[in-house]
Amino acid sequence: MECSREAVIIHEKGLHARVAAMIVQKAHELEHKWQVTLYFRRLGGQAVRAVSIMPLVSLRIKKDDLLLVEAAGQAAETAAEEMKVFLESDFRLADEAVLSQIDNLLQDNAFTAEQIFASMANGLMVTDENDIITVFNPAAERILGIAASQAIGNKAQNIIPGSRLHIVAQTRQAEIGCRQSIGDFAIITNRTPIIADGKVRGALAIFEDISVLEAVTDELTAVKDLKERLQLVLESVQDGICVVDKNGCITYVNPAYLELVGQSRQELTGQNVRKLSPDGARSRVLATGQPVFGSLVAKTSGVTLVANVNPIVVDGEITGAVSVVKNVNEVHKLMDKLNHVSAKAEYLEQELRRTQKPGPAFQKFIGQSGKVREALAVAAKAAGSSATVLIVGESGTGKELVAEGIHYASRRAEGPFIRVNCAAIPESLLESELFGHEKGAFTGAVRQKPGKFSLADHGTIFLDEVGELSKSMQAKLLRVLQQKEFTRVGGEVVIKADVRIIAATNRDLAHMVTAGEFREDLYYRLHVIPILLPALRERVADIPLLVDHFMQKVIAEQNKDITGIAGEALTGLMAYHWPGNVRELENVIERMVTLADNTLLAVADLPIYLRSEEAAGLAEAGPVILPSLQAPVLPWAEYEKQIITRALAQYGSYNAAGKALRLTHKTVAAKAQKYGINKVVSWENRDGLGNNINDNR
């Protein structure tokens, strides 16, 4: 049975907390007495039971408001009527026992609200109408890092940086979902004004720490970005890639894989490799967890693929496999291309080593020909070690300059560089010169004298013309090389020698060893790093460079007004065989500059023996047969261009022209390419500067 009654609330403050507590107490009494269930609701509102104070307070019943009472049970009418009478009273009770029960009920409800606030995961902060904090739960303490004892009783805007509760209270406008940074935390806050009886009673804020959420969001964004990048990489690589899950189903194939196998993505995705190829590499990897490399697969299309398959292991469990495949034919092509490139790189490396400029220490040595570059390249490498060097070359080829360059390019550059011409010192004095002597060692030895090896300590000693040493001196030099020690003449003290030896000779030491004129053991001690310097006649292309160098040197020394050398004179110098090599050339240039009457060195300024018929005949019979140059003074590049052009026109091939110029055919070809010279164009079709007179460009 159900019954309802309407009651008008006449209490001045409506259903405030104490009145609501009295109603809860009365409802509990009537339900127990009449075995009914009571409900309360506003007109058109939701019905609530009076099991606690909060449901009744939430109805917001004021004075003169109508409150419906509904009862369900056998005595519904009686219970509803009694509750109606009670609701329309002024709620004044004198029974102390009843008042005590109501107070207990109020306390229990307050305790429940306090427990709810304390148990909330979100922070809760409540202020009154003066912005004074009245509620500050533990979550708020944890999130904001402020103790409740410090917060409660103080203004929110003084305690919390950026607090807007006072603004929310003033504007009566809620602020929902506002992000705020406090210290290291990021929080999201809902701020709501508290309004009762049309008046603002304060404001409350409920906030949540979203720092972890934002960190997770950033990680998810990074993972998404990484996934997109990985997808782009997989789509772009030229190798075929196929991914299968732990059950063997194909989950991904890239475009390169589709092209290699000649199938579409729809045909492959979802297929099970254990059915497609039960004994295949992917199936074996899923079964064993071991990678498979170099698996060959012949497709029906005729394409043979080589595959590397690796398991995908996550937390120790196989979750799939990835297969990377290549076309075997493409691999063979790549290998051929790699072999070709490797051979080319090896050749270019050799050419680079041969043509690269030596260090600054070798700048005094003038020359750009292939043999010079090769010799200086070896010298530059030798400078990086402490090994003994043997420089072989005719007199006047610049052996001392190379030795000096090795010293100043080495780690001993700060030490002394001592020169000794073994052929210029008498045999009787050579030992004393090299090793020094003690006082009274022989007649005239009035004081102790340090030898060249002592002076060269921590440096380099250059032994020129080492082939002129006697057998006894060879033995003593061998001891220095082997034991790094020597004894002065007339002395007994053994002196340690920290000296690097660079030897030089114009003789064939190997032939001397065979003839018994040179110690074999000393020869091999000296012949650690041999450097062969070419004679000047073997590097004719360097003559113009040397001429220019010596000419500028003598002009500066003598303050002569010389502007250059005529082409005919330069041709005569290049045609001569130069038995005295660079030293002879330097002497010739010094004589020409000194005796010249004009500003341009001409054929008339050449020494007579260079202009004699005999010399001319020798030049004609020799390998260098070039017409005289008719051009005026030109840069070296123009001279070189003319020489190469005329040689090719005269001899018709790189090989023959190279032999005539005493150059390699590669050098001639490189020079011809550099200057754009066509070897089939005859000299008759060129002007005096070597230009093609039929070229209308």
Q: Which of 133-142, 172-181, 346-355 is the least confident region?
A: 346-355
- Phi then psi for residue 83, to 5 deg, are -65, -35
List C-alpha distances in Å: 629 to 176, 551, 633: 98, 19, 10
Token couple for 424:
């210029």
Note whether 575 and 494 are same-domain residues: no
CA–CA distance, 519 with 507 (Å, rounded to integer): 14
| Containing structural domain, residue 207 | 120-213
CA–CA distance, 471 with 443 (Å, rounded to integer): 24
pLDDT, tens digit (0-9, with 9 covering 90-100), for 410-428? 999 999 999 999 888 888 8
List C-alpha distances in Å: 383 to 364, 379, 403, 689: 16, 6, 9, 42
Note whether 457 and 558 are same-domain residues: no
- Give 581's pLDDT tier (boundaries 50, 70, 90): very high
Whether 276 is in a domain gets the answer no
Note whether 547 and 483 are same-domain residues: no
Average pLDDT over residues 328-341: 74
Token couple for 499:
């000296």
User: Residue 379 pairs with which residues in a beta bridge?
Assistant: none
Note whether 55 and 71 are same-domain residues: yes
The pLDDT of residue 680 is: 46
Question: At what angle are helices 370-383 and 399-408 packed, to 10 degrees?
Answer: 40
Q: Look at residues 574, 688, 684, 675 and name the one whose alpha carbon lies nearest to residue 631.
A: 688
CA–CA distance, 5 with 28 (Å, rounded to integer): 18
Note whether 556 and 676 are same-domain residues: yes
Cα of 38 vs its chain's centroid, Å: 81
Average pLDDT over residues 59-69: 84
Note whether 36 and 139 are same-domain residues: no
Note whether 667 and 572 are same-domain residues: yes
Residue 695 pLDDT exceeds 60: no
Note whether 575 and 662 are same-domain residues: yes
Whether 455 is in a domain gets the answer yes
- Give 527's pLDDT tier (boundaries 50, 70, 90): very high
Kindly tell me the sign of the dihedral angle through the C-alpha atoms of 421, 422, 426, 429.
positive
Q: 325, 240 in Cβ contact below 8 A?
A: yes
C-alpha count within 13 angstroms, C-beta hemisphere, residue 32: 7
The pLDDT of residue 692 is: 41
Whether 523 is in a domain gets the answer yes
The pLDDT of residue 101 is: 58
Element (H, E) at 216: helix 211-236
**C-alpha angle 103-109-114 in degrees, rounded to nearest 5:** 125
**C-alpha angle 355-358-362 in degrees, rounded to nearest 5:** 135
Kindly tell me the sign of the dihedral angle through the C-alpha atoms of 358, 362, 367, 371.
negative
DSSP label at 439? Answer: T
Average pLDDT over residues 344-349: 66
Q: Look at residues 607, 635, 608 and name the one whose alpha carbon lies nearest to residue 544.
A: 635
What is the rounded radius of gyration, in angstroms, for the C-alpha atoms of the chain? 54
Among 213, 233, 254, the domain boundary falls at 213
More confident residue, 351 or 270: 270
pLDDT, tens digit (0-9, with 9 covering 90-100), for 251-278? 988 888 888 888 888 888 888 988 888 8
SS3 content of the chain, % helix, strand, coil (to 5): 45, 20, 30
CATH number at residue 55: 3.30.1340.10
User: Residue 187 pairs with which residues in a beta bridge?
Assistant: 180, 209
CA–CA distance, 567 with 54 (Å, rounded to integer): 120
CATH number at residue 620: 1.10.8.60
- Give 437's pLDDT tier (boundaries 50, 70, 90): confident
Note whether 46 and 145 are same-domain residues: no
Residue 574 pLDDT exceeds 80: yes
pLDDT, tens digit (0-9, with 9 covering 90-100), for 445-481? 667 788 888 888 999 999 999 999 999 889 989 988 8
Whether 690 is in a domain gets the answer no
Average pLDDT over residues 490-496: 83
CATH number at residue 501: 3.40.50.300
pLDDT, tens digit (0-9, with 9 covering 90-100), for 653-690? 787 787 777 677 777 888 888 888 875 444 334 443 33
Note whether 524 and 463 are same-domain residues: yes
Q: Look at residues 345, 321, 350 and name the one whose alpha carbon lies nearest to residue 248.
A: 321
Q: Which of 16-20, 284-288, 418-422, 573-577 is the least confident region?
A: 16-20
- Give 443's pLDDT tier (boundaries 50, 70, 90): low
Q: 326, 239 in Cβ contact below 8 A?
A: yes
Whether 336 is in a domain gets the answer no
Note whether 420 and 500 are same-domain residues: yes
Whether 557 is in a domain gets the answer yes
Maximum separation of any 2 CA atoms in the chain, in Å: 159
Residue 103 identity = D
Average pLDDT over residues 241-255: 90
pLDDT, tens digit (0-9, with 9 covering 90-100), for 613-635? 334 443 443 444 444 444 444 56
CA–CA distance, 91 with 87 (Å, rounded to integer): 8
Q: 388, 503 in Cβ contact below 8 A?
A: yes
Whether 354 is in a domain gets the answer no
DSSP 355-412: HS---GGGTTS---SHHHHHHHHHHHHHHTS---EEEE--TTS-HHHHHHHHHHTSTT
CATH number at residue 172: 3.30.450.20
The pLDDT of residue 555 is: 92
Mean pLDDT score of the chain: 81
CA–CA distance, 98 with 115 (Å, rounded to integer): 26
Q: Look at residues 304, 162, 322, 296 and name the one whose alpha carbon lies nearest to residue 234.
A: 322
List C-alpha distances in Å: 199 to 135, 194, 412, 663: 19, 8, 97, 110
Residue 533 pLDDT exceeds 90: yes
Token couple for 103:
């107070």
Whether 245 is in a domain gets the answer no
DSSP label at 579? Answer: T
The pLDDT of residue 390 is: 95
The pLDDT of residue 118 is: 72
CA–CA distance, 682 with 679 (Å, rounded to integer): 8
pLDDT, tens digit (0-9, with 9 covering 90-100), for 208-237? 877 767 777 777 777 777 777 777 777 778
- 74-78 — which CB contacts under 8 Å span 24+ positions? 74/1, 74/34, 74/35, 74/36, 75/34, 75/35, 75/36, 76/1, 76/2, 76/3, 76/34, 76/36, 77/1, 77/3, 78/34
The pLDDT of residue 94 is: 44
The pLDDT of residue 632 is: 46
Among 53, 83, 111, the domain boundary falls at 111
Q: Which of 120-134, 246-260, 342-356, 496-510 is the least confident region?
A: 342-356
Token couple for 553:
């040197």
- Give 133's pLDDT tier (boundaries 50, 70, 90): confident
Residues 6+ apart with CB under 8 A from 39: 47, 48, 49, 69, 70, 71, 72
Token couple for 326:
């290549």
pLDDT, tens digit (0-9, with 9 covering 90-100), for 368-405? 888 888 899 899 999 988 899 999 999 999 999 999 99
Whole-number percent of the chain with pLDDT over 90 = 19
Domain count, the chain: 4
DSSP 44-112: TS--B--SSHHHHHHT---TT-EEEEEEESTTHHHHHHHHHHHHTS------HHHHHHHHHHHHHHHHH
Residues 6+ apart with CB under 8 A from 72: 1, 2, 36, 37, 39
**C-alpha angle 76-80-81 in degrees, rounded to nearest 5:** 120
Pairing of strands 389-392, 250-253: unpaired
Note whether 459 and 556 are same-domain residues: no
The pLDDT of residue 97 is: 54
Cβ atoms < 10 Å from Cβ of 425 = 17
3 state DSSP class of 481: helix
Among 480, 515, 534, the domain boundary falls at 534
